[in-house]
Amino acid sequence: MGLKPTVAFNHLGCEKNRVDTEHMLGLLVQAGYQVDANEELADYVVVNTCSFIEEAREESVRTLVELAAAKKKVVITGCLAQHFQNELLEEIPEAVALVGTGDYNRIVEVIERAEAGERVKIVSPEPTYIADETVPRYRTTASSVAYLRVAEGCDYRCAFCIIPHLRGNQRSRTIESIVAEAHQLAAEGVQELVLISQITTNYGMDLYGKPRLAELLRALGDVDVPWVRMHYAYPTGLTPEVLAAIRETPNVLPYLDLPLQHSHPEVLRSMNRPWQGQVNDDVIHRIKEALPEAVLRTTFIVGFPGETEAHVEHLLEFVERHRFDHVGVFSFSAEEGTPAYSLPNQVPQEERDRRREALMLAQQPIAWEHNRAHIGRVVDVLIEQENPATGMAIGRSARFAPEVDGLVYVIGTAPLNQIVPVKITAADTYDLFGEIVAIASPEPSLSLAR
């Protein structure tokens, strides 16, 4: 029996997509397939695509076309495969297989059938699968960081979002399953776990009949990982119980990623998020009162259909008032299949881009002020890279989430994948700069001092 074919992966999109990629890699390695980072040397290239917004779709399509031009056997997986399954198979004859978002666990079967000469299409119309701690996983992040998926899918129906159509309704893992995987990752030396799902504050609603995020956070307090970070915390789910769990669980960071999307009640109503307009200010005040050291990150969409200059001014004032640590801004992308696609009063693309630029510029001095406040302080930094040419190490403080926030550039010898004390000496809008703080050696005992 000959060697099994070599498979390479091209990962696109968010960290939820990344976890899918890691499970596919793990399943193939377990089945004896060779995995190679070099697409040119691989027999098959699996492209895990994104279809969240137009820009992501364009990147996915561009990648597929380039691989097809190179005459590679392409396996298309992920959100674009779920979204445009028939069109992709018609337009890209080099695609030997197409796999939906709820079917990536069948990747070994897909490659086997493709090897037998079949053109494979496996797309469940209603994705229901979610991997647990028993599914092999080959991590692609820095060895110090791992994303830990607590749930998949979404029960909300925001007017701009295609994700529920592509990923299905929410399905949570049990607390026991999540904690078991967290222990596995800790045993691999992971220093930071990032909890992810579409709406992490709704974790457990489908499984237990009510959100159980507070209980999950407290359970993760028993895992030997220094930092546990949470992404995608919707404001309505930040109850006093959740805030107390963050405050009272030592390894849970007071870092809250709040995808608010807008501040004006009229725009939020059009987005089908009317509940949020009533709670934004109140929740942010409650967070700051319960967690004075809280780091707040948020994302906004500008140029939503019907958004006026008055709405934009409201948003600018909102950002100025609350002074978030980190802000991401998207210009509205009209997604076919969502209610917002056909709403009247669409904002021209040029105007959407102008509004995005205005909001980003408004945030820059706020971000710089937050960073500058850390000059002179000693902060813990997780070292993830080193640059021998410059003698600098690169890492992140607890204020910076991987891949989306800033970095800390450090002078001095620092061990990789360890958290070390760093004195901050300078700052710019997005990054910090510092030097390793020497840790005093313990005094020698008399018996050793002779």
Q: How far apart are CA 387 and CA 413, in angstroms?
A: 11
**Range name among 135-149, 153-167, 427-441 with the lowest pLDDT average:** 427-441
Task: Flag whether pLDDT at 413 surpasses 50.
Answer: yes
Contact 185, 177 (CB under 8 A): no
Instruction: Give the residue carrying structure tokens 């992490």.
Output: 200
**pLDDT tens per residue across span 43-83:** 999 999 887 677 777 888 888 888 888 888 999 998 988 98
Q: Is 50 annotated as a binding residue?
A: yes
**Is pLDDT at 363 greater than 80 in this prediction?**
yes
State residue 448's pLDDT score: 32
Dig out the tokens for 360 from the structure: 């980003």
Q: What is the pLDDT of residue 336?
A: 84
- Say which CATH topology domain 377-436 has: OB fold (Dihydrolipoamide Acetyltransferase, E2P) (2.40.50)
- How far is residue 10's CA from residue 56's CA, in Å, rounded to a whole number? 14
Is 101 annotated as belonging to a binding site? Answer: no
Q: Are 53 and 166 in contact (CB under 8 A)?
A: no
339 is in an annotated binding site: no
The angle at the Cα of 166, spanning 161 to 170, to the nearest 5 degrees, equals 85
Q: What's the mean pLDDT in 372-382?
A: 97
For residue range 315-339, what is the model confidence (pLDDT) as tens digits?
Answer: 999 999 999 999 999 999 988 888 9
Is residue 443 predicted with pLDDT exceeding 90? no
- Predicted confidence band at 91 (pLDDT cuts at 50, 70, 90)? confident
**Summary mean pLDDT of the chain:** 91
Confirm if 346 and 305 have CB atoms less than 8 A apart. Answer: yes
What CATH architecture is 6-122? 3-Layer(aba) Sandwich (3.40)
Whole-number pLDDT of residue 439: 59
350 annotated ligand binder: no
Range(s) for CATH 2.40.50.140 in the chain?
377-436
The third-level CATH classification (topology) of the domain covering 145-371 is pyruvate-formate lyase- activating enzyme (3.80.30)
Amino acid (one-letter) located at 207: L
Interval 202-208 mean pLDDT: 96
Q: According to DSSP H, which parts of 225-348 are helical?
A: 240-248, 265-270, 274-277, 280-290, 309-322
* Reported pTM: 0.92
Domain with CATH 3.80.30.20 in the chain: 145-371
Q: Which of 328, 253, 251, 320 is nearest to 297 (CA)?
A: 328
Q: Is 161 annotated as a binding residue?
A: yes
Residue 387: strand, helix, or coil: strand
Give the residue range(s) of CATH 3.40.50.12160 domains in the chain: 6-122
Question: Is it the case that residue 353 has pLDDT exceeding 80?
Answer: yes
Q: Are 416 and 386 in contact (CB under 8 A)?
A: yes
> What letter would DSSP give residue 253?
E
